[in-house]
Structure 1
Amino acid sequence: MTDAAVRAVLLDLEGTLYARGSVIEGAADAVAALRELGVGLRFLTNTDSKPAERIQAELAGYGLDVAAEELFTPVVAAAQLLSAAGARTYPLVSRELREVLPTLADEPPYTHVLIGDCRDTLDYAALDGAFRAVRDGAVLLALQTGRYFKRADGDHLDTGAVVAAVTYASGAEARVLGKPATDFFELAAASLGVPVSACVVVGDDATTDIAGGRAAGCGTVQVRTGKYEDQRAEGLTGRATHELDSVAGIARLVREWGVV
């Protein structure tokens, strides 16, 4: 950790507060303890298949008390960006997101292509349409570029694989709106009115939570839950400011560092 005291904690969700359909032991108490310390809180997720309100309801089912405005997702970032740009967007996203995202267009010309979790809409025609729109000049946006995600029934292909297909075929680079993009962490800090250097990112994923937090100038805490064991075996861990067995110990650690 840097010498700066902590003003905000940016907490990952899946793999950190819950994993494989169950809440991490001590997670709810950890969130409550952080609130008692008076630090700002944002709950960061790369979940790109559903709006914030449904994520909030799911967290309540785990016994986690999180307000909708405390959630920071790439879907929120995309909606803000596309609205401001007056975009005509080709959506390669879930059916649920198509109902809530602005600026979606049914036919060309497209100014943007947005790729997110599209497991319920993906087929060759949809993928080919995204490729052709990018080749015609549309800006490629990725809600996130995760390789895989974990569920109770095992590992599943994530959005990054679909983004990789379009970038490989089109030769275009994607602007990433979720973790590990530096903008994502900076915007989360800005939403709390604190400098990013006074934030601590807590997460299980070394490639998104830890790498992104480090690049943004945050302190970082790797928890040994979720993807940790997989990534340790790949040699990806060991770069965080600190490691904890689980999120249950985060309030004690923040107290030791000091709170502004």
Structure 2
Amino acid sequence: MTWRFEFYETLGSTSDLLKEKAEAGAQGKLAIQAFSQTSGRGTRGRSWVDPGGNLAISLLFRPEKSIDFLAVIPFLTAVSLYETARQFSTGEADFMLKWPNDLLLSERKMAGVLIEAGGNADRKWVVVGIGANLRQAPQIEGRQLSALSEVAAAPDSAVFGRDLTLQMDRWIGLWEAEGFAPIREAWLERAHPVGRHLAVQRSETYISGSFSGLDEQGRLLLALPNGETIPVVTGDILLD
């Protein structure tokens, strides 16, 4: 099945519309893209500001094994974003993935992902919302953001979106054929290196340590100063 695209000049949220369509029975591999998004959402209730000319797209999946798919889709999406951005830039561009699915350019956030799931036992759906700064990065106090236009001519967002779905198909096919191991390896090759000092923010507290890889479930392994290594399931990652 090939991807089907719906394009809108302006939407409040591509994911909200796509979730409505999913609940109404829409088949998988439907992509909704807006050239301007007024109420974009990020993780943990944050807003995703879209100044226009950037990527605002949401993708609908109907996985047969939704639990397995939900475990791997953050990493599949992150690697797909990385590879798509690389296609439109020079080899000197300093891209890096931050756990689990942020794309950084020169250590500043360029793209983010919001994954939502629903449906009943027979008709599970997963919506992957993706925002990427292609033409310009919004100005948000206290946040360091980047845009692809810093290292290349800003691509047309529709072209970027179509290329992204091709990358998604490629990496999903690899996962279906060989499991999580090659996805995990690909993500680690593109992410903050093992040994990088970082902190995990949980509410108002921080846990500091160094990155020690991913386990077989995709959990971040944090090596603590006392020699203990703990798995991290959720939390904001702050790179030092």
The structure that has the greater radius of gyration is 1
Q: Name whichever structure is richer in strand by fraction.
A: 2
Larger RCO of the pair (alpha carbons < 8 Å, separation 6+): 1
With structure 1 as the length reference, what TM-score do the two structures score?
Answer: 0.26
With structure 2 as the length reference, what TM-score do the two structures score?
Answer: 0.28
Q: Name whichever structure is richer in helix by fraction.
A: 1
